């Protein structure tokens, strides 16, 4: 192989010229014959590509798990949200720092209810606290700003209108109290080390999100995708604060002292909040270029510049030649599925298109995949040689997913329910908890999205969202629709020969329209007859078989008429009852006796033929004496019946 696989690539890739990576067979010069041979060898791609097109059609309504994961990732990446960065406004707070000791805790809290816990004036629920310090901490880092992620502005504005969301600033250092040293950031779910009745005095201040939203909405910067920065003065008041844990969430309860009005501990802090919207598909200036006005050399450079572009090199003609194409958005070139990242592509390609070999290359400049056909195995897996796959019919039956979706939804809610019931909380608290769900999912993702790795902290949130993307039919629809409708191919990539029209549904309609004929009678069949369960293909025509049997027996000259009759009866019986094995004989003899009992009794010569035949069977060890006896007893019974009828 001319290429170097990914592992080796890490060290040697820098010396390779990019032109070599994206060449269009310019290096190899071929004779006319060789070119024809090369074209032919390129056609080995056709069948696998066609197969994958068919598979892709099938998977439209029922995407693979991997695809669902990847589309969820893309969706999450695109979700609009606002990141806010909170820091102390340096210029204003310059003088304050001496009398305003750090650390300052910043929480995004939701007002639970004033009435719920009567003795406190306000209870806020929060899930994460950020700490601001101005000194070098134990870990050697200085934390001067806190980051939070909020939902997009429209949703946020709706939520904020209720007035219950606020940014809280808490400072213990101002007061000498028992709570000093309690680290709010470390207060964790289920940790009981913090006594619920512990409390202390501190300074606190709040910025209602409502006011933030209003200023953001007014500001043109945010809507244009730029950073919006505002400075707010916050009044810090002293209060009694109590920390508690409610099931999953932490709560701070704040009690204003009765003499709050006359309190002289009020300080003013200036906070800078800068907000930026994320998740909108980043528009690159190259999105709207056309092929014609850019030279091909600069084009390839531009293509490489874009983050989601992946170069695919299709090797053929014994790996001597290659065709190159580029896809956008980490799309798979075979099924056009967007794979969110190069890693996603690395998982998707081998798992979904295992008829090809893939080599993955990553450098700082570009990502590339070398593709070659697994020549040894695909023949058996695709259709036989010389068979046009378009003529083949592929059936795919799948029950509608709705039912299962419902079930999943049910399972999910079941999964959540016990958690709530298990907590030893008063019912009011449970209700509060349910009410607070929204904020929970808002605040859960804080700072965590950048890594895309779910920590233990936001497991719930991810599960929730995952279930959503799975259970919401519209979501699945739109994702799969995207795969088909928006081909991520670049302009020049469309001209490739590998793209094969998708003919599966057309074939199906043709199949339904065409006339079917009965395989025995050659008569046209109604569609209902074609699709009915009944299949008479391998049925034996008993009448004709009987006729032929009789004709065959008629040829015997040394056999009496009764013997022929007996033979015919037995042959006919054996054929109709499909007596095939030696083990069937005892049953067959009894059944035969019952079936033809009357006829045998009425023609004693015939009955004797039957008895002789049974003896013959017994001679050959096919019939046991007991069964033979049973048969004769049966015959006697028929005889008796016959006599009774004669008499009466």
Partner 1 sequence: MDKQASGDTVTGANVRRMARTAIGCEPLVGSQTPSKKRDYRVTNKLQEGKRPLYAVVFNFIDSRYFNVFATVGGNRVTVYQCLEGGVIAALQSYVDEDKDESFYTVSWACNVDGTPFLVAGGINGIIRVIDVSNEKLHKSFVGHGDSINEIRTQPLKPSLVVSASKDESVRLWNVHTGICILIFAGAGGHRNEVLSVDFHPSDIYRIASCGMDNTVKIWSMKEFWTYVEKSFTWTDLPSKFPTKYVQFPVFIASVHSNYVDCNRWLGDFILSKSVDNEIVLWEPKMKEQSPGEGTADILQKYPVPECDIWFIKFSCDFHYNAAAIGNREGKIYVWELQSSPPTLIARLSHAHSRSPIRQTAMSFDGSTILSCCEDGAIWRWDAVSTS
CA distance 93 to 233: 10
Closest C-alpha to 326, from 307, 305, 303, 343 = 303
Nearest CB to partner 1, comparing residues 388 and 543: 543
Q: What is the DSSP letter of 613?
A: H
Query: For every residue of 378-444, which 3-state class applies, written as one string?
Result: HHHHCCCCCCCHHHCCCCCCCCCCHHHHHHHHHHHHHHHHHHHHHCCCCHHHHHHHHHCHHHHHHHH
Nearest CB to partner 1, comparing residues 422 and 528: 528
Query: Rounded to the nearest 10 degrees, what angle do helices 561-577 and 604-619 cross at?
Result: 60
Can you spell out the DSSP letters for 181-227? T--GGG--TT-TTS-TT-EEEEEEEEEEHHHHHHHHHH-HHHHTT--
Instruction: Catalogue the E-assigned strands of 489-575.
Output: 516-517, 524-525
Q: 31 is written with which tokens?
A: 């004779």
CB 525, min distance to partner 1, A: 5
Give strand pairing partners of 200.
241
* Residues whose CB is less than 8 angstroms from the CB of residue 158 and which lie 6 or more positions away in sequence, other chains included: none
Give CB contacts under 8 A, 24+ apart, made by 381-384.
Answer: 381/355, 382/47, 382/48, 382/51, 382/355, 383/47
Nearest CB to partner 1, comparing residues 376 and 543: 543
Nearest CB to partner 1, comparing residues 39 and 541: 541
Instruction: Catalogue the E-assigned strands of 210-336.
Output: 228-246, 249-255, 267-278, 310-316, 321-327
In the list 319, 529, 531, 560, the residue contacting partner 1 (rule: CB under 8 A) is 529
**Binding window for partner 1 (CB under 8 A); candidates: 20-28, 80-88, 249-257, 512-520:** 512-520
- Contact call for residue 513 and partner 1 (CB under 8 A): no
Q: 1 is written with which tokens?
A: 């192989």
**Binding window for partner 1 (CB under 8 A); candidates: 377-385, 409-417, 479-487, 539-547:** 539-547
Phi/psi at 431 (nearest 5 deg)?
Answer: -60, -40
Nearest CB to partner 1, comparing residues 399 and 521: 521
CA 86 to chain centre: 37
Nearest CB to partner 1, comparing residues 270 and 550: 550
- Contact call for residue 543 and partner 1 (CB under 8 A): yes
Q: 511 is written with which tokens?
A: 């199949």
Nearest CB to partner 1, comparing residues 396 and 556: 556
CB 518, min distance to partner 1, A: 5
**Binding window for partner 1 (CB under 8 A); candidates: 47-55, 163-171, 536-544, 638-646:** 536-544
Query: 572: helix, coil or strand?
Result: helix
In the list 19, 548, 582, 636, the residue contacting partner 1 (rule: CB under 8 A) is 548
Closest C-alpha to 299, from 493, 47, 48, 76 = 493
- Contact call for residue 531 and partner 1 (CB under 8 A): no
- Contact call for residue 518 and partner 1 (CB under 8 A): yes
- Contact call for residue 525 and partner 1 (CB under 8 A): yes
**Binding window for partner 1 (CB under 8 A); candidates: 251-259, 314-322, 498-506, 517-525:** 517-525
CB 516, min distance to partner 1, A: 9
- Contact call for residue 523 and partner 1 (CB under 8 A): yes
Neighbours of 335 (CB within 10 A): 21
**Binding window for partner 1 (CB under 8 A); candidates: 212-220, 252-260, 329-337, 519-527:** 519-527
Asked if omega into 207 is within 30° of 0 (cis), the reply is no
Subset of residues 550 to 589 that bind partner 1, contact rule: CB under 8 A:
551, 554-555
**Binding window for partner 1 (CB under 8 A); candidates: 10-18, 55-63, 304-312, 538-546:** 538-546
Q: How many residues in the shown chain lie near partner 1 by CB under 8 A? A: 18
CB 568, min distance to partner 1, A: 14
- Contact call for residue 524 and partner 1 (CB under 8 A): yes
- Contact call for residue 526 and partner 1 (CB under 8 A): yes
Q: 548 is written with which tokens?
A: 């032929």
- Contact call for residue 521 and partner 1 (CB under 8 A): yes
- Contact call for residue 522 and partner 1 (CB under 8 A): yes
- Contact call for residue 517 and partner 1 (CB under 8 A): yes
CB 547, min distance to partner 1, A: 6
**Binding window for partner 1 (CB under 8 A); candidates: 84-92, 196-204, 207-215, 514-522:** 514-522
- Contact call for residue 537 and partner 1 (CB under 8 A): no
The answer to whether residues 326 and 490 touch, using CB atoms and an 8 Å cutoff, is yes
CA distance 334 to 353: 8
Please give the helix or strand (H or E) that residue 569 lies within, else none: helix 561-577
CB 561, min distance to partner 1, A: 14
Q: Which residues bind partner 1 (CB under 8 A)?
A: 517-518, 520-526, 529, 541, 543-544, 547-548, 551, 554-555
């Amino acid at each position: 192989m001319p290429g170097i696989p990914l592992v080796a690539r890490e060290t040697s890739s820098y010396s390779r010229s990019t032109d070599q990576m994206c060449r269009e067979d310019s290096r190899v010069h071929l004779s006319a014959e060789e070119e024809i041979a090369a074209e032919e060898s390129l056609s080995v791609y056709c069948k696998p590509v066609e197969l994958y097109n068919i598979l892709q059609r099938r998977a439209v309504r029922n995407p693979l798990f991997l695809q669902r994961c990847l589309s969820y990732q893309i969706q999450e990446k695109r979700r609009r949200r606002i990141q806010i960065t909170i820091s102390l406004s340096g210029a204003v707070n310059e003088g304050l720092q001496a009398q305003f000791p750090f650390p300052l805790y910043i929480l995004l809290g939701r007002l639970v209810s004033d009435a719920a816990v009567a003795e406190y004036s306000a209870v806020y629920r929060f899930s994460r606290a950020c700490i601001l310090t101005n000194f070098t901490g134990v870990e050697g880092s200085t934390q001067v700003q806190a980051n939070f992620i909020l939902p997009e502005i429209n949703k946020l504005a709706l939520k904020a209108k209720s007035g219950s969301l606020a940014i809280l600033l808490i400072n213990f250092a101002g007061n000498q109290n028992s709570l000093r040293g309690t680290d709010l950031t470390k207060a964790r779910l289920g940790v009981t080390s913090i006594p619920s009745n512990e409390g202390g005095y501190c300074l606190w201040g709040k910025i209602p999100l409502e006011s933030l939203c209003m200023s953001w909405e007014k500001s043109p910067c945010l809507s244009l995708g730029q950073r919006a920065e505002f400075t707010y003065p916050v009044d810090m008041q002293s209060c009694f604060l109590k920390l508690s844990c409610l099931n999953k969430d932490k709560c701070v309860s704040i009690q204003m002292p009765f003499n709050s009005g006359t309190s002289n501990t009020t300080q003013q802090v200036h906070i800078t909040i800068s907000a930026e919207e994320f998740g909108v598909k980043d528009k690159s200036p190259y999105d709207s270029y056309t092929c014609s006005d850019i030279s091909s050399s600069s084009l390839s450079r531009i293509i490489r510049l874009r983050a989601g572009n992946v170069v695919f090199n299709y090797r053929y003609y014994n790996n001597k030649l290659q065709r190159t194409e580029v896809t956008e958005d980490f799309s798979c070139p075979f099924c056009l599925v967007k794979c969110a990242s190069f890693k996603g592509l690395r998982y998707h390609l081998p798992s979904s298109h295992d008829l090809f070999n893939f080599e993955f290359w990553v450098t700082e400049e570009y990502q590339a995949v070398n593709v070659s056909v697994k020549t040894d195995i695909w023949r058996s897996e695709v259709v036989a040689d010389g068979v046009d796959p378009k003529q083949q019919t592929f059936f795919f039956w799948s029950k509608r997913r709705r039912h299962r979706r419902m079930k999943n939804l049910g399972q999910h809610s079941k999964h959540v329910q016990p958690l709530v019931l298990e907590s030893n909380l008063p019912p009011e608290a449970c209700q509060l908890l349910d009410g607070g769900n929204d904020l929970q999912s808002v605040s859960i993702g804080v700072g965590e999205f950048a890594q895309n790795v779910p920590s233990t902290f936001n497991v719930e949130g991810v599960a929730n969202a995952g279930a959503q993307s799975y259970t919401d039919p519209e979501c699945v629809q739109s994702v799969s629709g995207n795969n088909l409708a928006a081909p991520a191919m670049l302009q020049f990539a469309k001209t490739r020969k590998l793209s094969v029209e998708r003919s599966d549904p057309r074939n199906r309609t043709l199949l339904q329209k065409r006339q079917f004929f009965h395989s025995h009678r050659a008569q046209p069949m109604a569609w209902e007859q074609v699709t009915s369960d009944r299949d008479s293909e391998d049925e034996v025509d008993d009448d004709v078989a009987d006729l032929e049997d009789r004709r065959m027996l008629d040829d015997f000259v040394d056999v009496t008429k009764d013997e022929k009759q007996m033979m015919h009866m037995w042959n006919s019986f054996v054929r109709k009852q499909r007596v095939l094995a030696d083990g069937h004989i005892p049953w067959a003899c009894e059944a035969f006796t019952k079936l033809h009992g009357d006829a045998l009794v009425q023609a004693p010569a015939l009955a004797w033929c039957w008895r002789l035949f049974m003896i013959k069977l017994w001679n050959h060890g096919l019939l046991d004496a007991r069964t033979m006896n049973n048969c004769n007893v049966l015959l006697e019974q028929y005889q008796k019946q016959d006599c009774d009828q004669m008499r009466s």
